[in-house]
Amino acid sequence: MDVIETGASCMRHDAATLLVRCAVRGYYNTGKPRFPGPSGATHVRVVDLRSDTVTKPGPAMRQAMAEAEVGDDVMGEDPTVNDLQKIAADMFGMEAALFVPSGTMGNLIAVMVHCRERGDEVIVGDLSHLHIYEQGGSAQLAGVHSTTVTTRSDGTFDLKQLESKIRHGYPDPHYPRSRLICVENTHNIQGGRVLPLHFLQDVRAVADHYGLSVHMDGARVMNAAVAQGVPVATILQHTHTVSVCLSKGLGSPVGSMLAGPQDFISRAVRCRKALGGGMRQVGVLAAAGKVSLQEMVGRLEDDHRNAKAFALALLEYNPFLFGVEMAAVETNILRFQIKDPTLSPQEFCTRMSQVGEGEEEALGQGLQVLMYPHFENSIRAVWHLGISPEDTQLAIQKMQFVAFQHLNQKAGVH
Ligand SMILES: Cc1ncc(COP(=O)(O)O)c(C=O)c1O
């Protein structure tokens, strides 16, 4: 589905409306543009800011994978997986951890384990990945009912609203039973926002008061830890369980870590197997995961710095054309607006992805800069280990070139 929204019409209504009206891109169905540009662009460089999932393992990671000791992990005999799980549990301050194929499966297993009885319910943010982008797996596969709280622009939600969503009717047979609260850190749709520690503390207090559990979709929680300058365990002390992606900014080709108390992980092992996620000699992938946790966390700071540099460049170039809230650029995901209604986010992204007339002469080479139109008429660009400061400067030059051309066209200058 490719619905193109312009103007202020893409307002928030509810999650279903968001999906239909703001699906300016299918999450995974927008392929990489294959055309370099008008004829004859000879030297084309690609700066891919679509997602931090596009990273490829570098030489050190590939070597670790090639040399990994392996065994049958379904039998618990893969030493590299066991090592990775121990490293993750220690790092996260949790009793145990489990290597799972994806963030989506990690979240689904968490919901399945926390919400074990028919009629259990999970409370999620209406703009959370779990609610929007995971195909309703909680309902579809786990048989768990969801209710939503309104996600605020900083990724948090109102605690009073949260409390109002907790069901108090149990065991009256009319009502589901509230079991779990999910938070997302950093928040993807809201542009990599970092959840404040006091918010997590408050959510946990509500959960404790009503006997609920807290699960964090921490796909990018290492980015949050780096941005806040705290050990990740400081963040995770407020949650019962967490799912952390290795395959985003941390650069692994595959995999996520699910972590929590030992009894939670023992049950998670069973769910993973039922979902087809029991893998055999998977130490070749766990070896990459070890490199991610042990060597790739420090470099996330570079992504944050590059994202800020691009954001600043937008404002420096033309604050009447581009809108960015600098305080909201906390990690590696940037959301910005185009204030000129005659240049839609889709059109801007298309121009950024093509090598335009005269561009090679102006910039010294053809540049394809890939980014996506996003929620609420914005554009999303994501930094990762494949994007250097030099790539960022090139993306800035391209943005200036595209903006200059647009403004000239508008003014009738040829
Ligand atoms: C916040 C968040 N949670 C979960 C996921 C799912 O991860 P995966 O693609 O590994 O299933 C993503 C992926 O982008 C994400 O951004």
Whether residues 231 and 191 fall in one domain: yes
Closest CA to 101 of 222, 221, 265, 279: 279
The residue contributing the CA closest to ligand 1 atom 8 is 103
C-beta of residue 342 within 8 angstroms of C-beta of residue 7: no
CATH assignment of the domain containing 15 = 3.90.1150.10
Domain assignment present for 258: yes
CA 317 to ligand 1 center in whole angstroms: 33
Domain assignment present for 18: yes
As a whole number of angstroms, the distance between CA 349 and CA 372 comes to 6
Q: Work out how many domains the chain is built from and give that number.
A: 2
Which amino acid, one-letter code, is at 71? G
| Confidence (pLDDT) at 336 | 98
As a whole number of angstroms, the distance between CA 72 and CA 279 comes to 8
Domain boundary among 240, 269, 295: 295
Helices 79-92 and 283-295, packing angle to 10 deg: 30
Whether residues 72 and 216 fall in one domain: yes
Closest CA to 195 of 363, 204, 391, 293: 204
Domain assignment present for 277: yes
Note down the domain range covering 72: 68-295
Q: Nearest 5°: phi and psi at 355?
A: -90, 110
Domain assignment present for 379: yes
Whether residues 282 and 365 fall in one domain: no
CA 219 to ligand 1 center in whole angstroms: 6
Helix (H, G, I), strand (E, B) or coil at 151: coil
CA 243 to ligand 1 center in whole angstroms: 9
Q: Which residues pair with 187 in a beta bridge?
A: 193
Domain boundary among 273, 295, 317: 295
Whether residues 267 and 359 fall in one domain: no
Q: Which residues pair with 370 in a beta bridge?
A: 48
Domain boundary among 270, 295, 320: 295
Helix (H, G, I), strand (E, B) or coil at 234: helix
| Confidence (pLDDT) at 41 | 59
Whether residues 285 and 305 fall in one domain: no
Whether residues 140 and 157 fall in one domain: yes
As a whole number of angstroms, the distance between CA 227 and CA 56 comes to 23
CA 300 to ligand 1 center in whole angstroms: 17
As a whole number of angstroms, the distance between CA 132 and CA 184 comes to 12
Whether residues 234 and 365 fall in one domain: no
DSSP character for 102?
A: -
Whether residues 333 and 381 fall in one domain: yes
Candidate of 107, 108, 133 to mutate for ligand 1, largest count of ligand atoms within 8 Å of Cβ: 133
Domain assignment present for 144: yes
Whether residues 312 and 376 fall in one domain: yes
Q: Nearest 5°: phi and psi at 223?
A: -65, -40
As a whole number of angstroms, the distance between CA 119 and CA 102 comes to 26
As a whole number of angstroms, the distance between CA 236 and CA 325 comes to 27
CA angle (355 as vertex; 351, 360 as ends), nearest 5 = 135
Q: Which two tokens stand for residue 24?
A: 């300016």
Whether residues 42 and 167 fall in one domain: no
| Confidence (pLDDT) at 85 | 98
Domain assignment present for 147: yes
Which regions of 246-340 does DSSP assign to beta strands (E)?
Answer: 256-260, 322-323, 333-338
CA 106 to ligand 1 center in whole angstroms: 9
As a whole number of angstroms, the distance between CA 107 and CA 132 comes to 13
Which amino acid, one-letter code, is at 59? P
C-alpha distances in Å from residue 367, one per residue of 204, 379, 404: 47, 18, 15
Candidate of 50, 245, 382 to mutate for ligand 1, largest count of ligand atoms within 8 Å of Cβ: 245
Domain assignment present for 174: yes
Which portions of the chain are predicted below pLDDT 50?
Answer: 1-30, 35-39
List ligand 1's pocket residues with C-beta within 6 A: 53, 102-104, 129, 184, 188, 217, 219, 245, 247, 256
Say what the pTM is.
Answer: 0.91
CATH assignment of the domain containing 190 = 3.40.640.10
Whether residues 263 and 136 fall in one domain: yes
Domain assignment present for 59: no
Whether residues 41 and 136 fall in one domain: no
Q: Nearest 5°: phi and psi at 179?
A: -130, -35
